């Protein structure tokens, strides 16, 4: 009996050590990527000051001018416009699925949402070229704006379609975490269904919904292929949604094949990747911290 116990104890110890080693490896991999990007970006940081690199609008690689400001602004513009389009749809859809729909319909809808979340980004980009770009061009003509359709608005619409399933899925889970006795108590006091949602469910799930939005921001901020195909890819600061833009991920994907022919080009693109990684990491850590707090509150 003691031999069997020692064998089980050894298996338990082996599983613990294996899990810990894999966790350390994953964290080490993230740190390795981060420090690798810093190492690759050092040559340009030794020549160009960090404020000049981040806030200069001059992008002329042949002249060794690598201002990232238009690309940073383009990334922020696409992300913000994406969330402005996606957030109302996501919140209303999540509220309906969580609070109003029947269980059978909710499960069917979530199955479709999971399928949409798994579609490759290049498919969304192709649909954007075939559908969204002509729609934006037609819309621009209605407003008297000459545009090719490859614009900030086109990139934001495609990205919103990609982000919506992701945010809805997390938001529904957060809303379903709200205990049913809270809903039942509010209904017993005479509140309507919408009043329960507005004053009880949304208030209780507020932190988790914010985390879902932040994770959606992180997904939108780092997306490459779909945006690359429809956003226009012009290194400028756009003052209209019908003008083209050039986000950081598209810059890296478009130009990395040319880094061997131009000095410091490699370091400039690696610095762009470093900025992208830092911002996405901040978004992700903020979302996970908020979700952790939600879990602690629901466990009390």
Task: Please name each of the domains of the chain with its CATH number.
Answer: 50-299 (1.10.3720.10)
Highest mean pLDDT among 61-70, 92-101, 210-219, 224-233: 92-101
pLDDT in tens, 21-72: 888 888 888 888 888 888 888 888 777 777 888 888 888 877 777 888 888 8
Residue 6, C-beta contacts closer than 8 angstroms, at least 6 positions apart: none
DSSP symbols for 85-124: HHHHHHHHHHHIIIIIS-HHHHHHHHHHHHHHHHS-HHHH
Strand partners, 232: 245
Structure tokens at 277: 């990684």
pTM here is 0.81
In angstroms, the CA 166 to CA 162 distance is: 8
Percentage of the chain beyond pLDDT 90 is: 3
Count of beta carbons in the 10 Å neighbourhood of residue 297 = 12
pLDDT in tens, 125-162: 888 888 999 998 888 888 888 888 888 899 889 988 88
């Amino acid at each position: 009996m003691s031999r069997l116990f020692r064998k089980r104890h050894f298996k338990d110890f082996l599983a613990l050590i294996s899990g810990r080693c894999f966790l350390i490896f994953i964290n080490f991999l993230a740190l390795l990527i981060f420090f690798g990007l810093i190492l690759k970006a050092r040559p340009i940081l030794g020549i160009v000051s960090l404020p000049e690199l981040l806030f200069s609008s001059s992008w002329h690689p042949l002249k060794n001018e690598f201002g990232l400001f238009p690309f940073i602004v383009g990334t922020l513009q696409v992300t913000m416009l994406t969330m402005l389009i996606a957030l109302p749809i996501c919140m209303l859809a999540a509220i309906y699925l969580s609070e109003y729909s029947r269980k059978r319909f909710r499960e069917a809808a979530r199955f479709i949402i999971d399928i949409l979340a798994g579609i490759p980004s290049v498919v969304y980009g192709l649909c954007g070229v075939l559908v969204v770009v002509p729609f934006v061009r037609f819309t621009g003509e209605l407003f008297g704006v000459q545009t090719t359709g490859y614009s900030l608005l086109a990139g934001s619409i495609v990205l919103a379609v990609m982000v919506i399933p992701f945010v809805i899925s997390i938001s529904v889970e957060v809303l379903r975490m709200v205990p049913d006795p809270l809903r039942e108590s509010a209904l017993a006091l005479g509140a309507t269904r919408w009043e329960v949602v507005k004053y009880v469910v949304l208030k209780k799930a507020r932190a988790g919904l914010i985390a879902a939005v932040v994770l959606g921001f992180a997904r939108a901020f780092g997306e490459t292929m779909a945006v690359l195909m429809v956003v226009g890819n012009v290194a400028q600061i756009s003052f209209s949604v019908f003008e083209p833009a050039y986000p950081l991920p598209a810059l890296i994907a478009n130009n990395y094949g040319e880094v061997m022919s131009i000095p410091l080009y490699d370091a400039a693109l690696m610095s762009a990747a470093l900025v992208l990684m830092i911002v996405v990491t901040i978004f992700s850590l903020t979302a996970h911290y908020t979700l952790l707090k939600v879990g602690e509150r629901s466990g009390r």
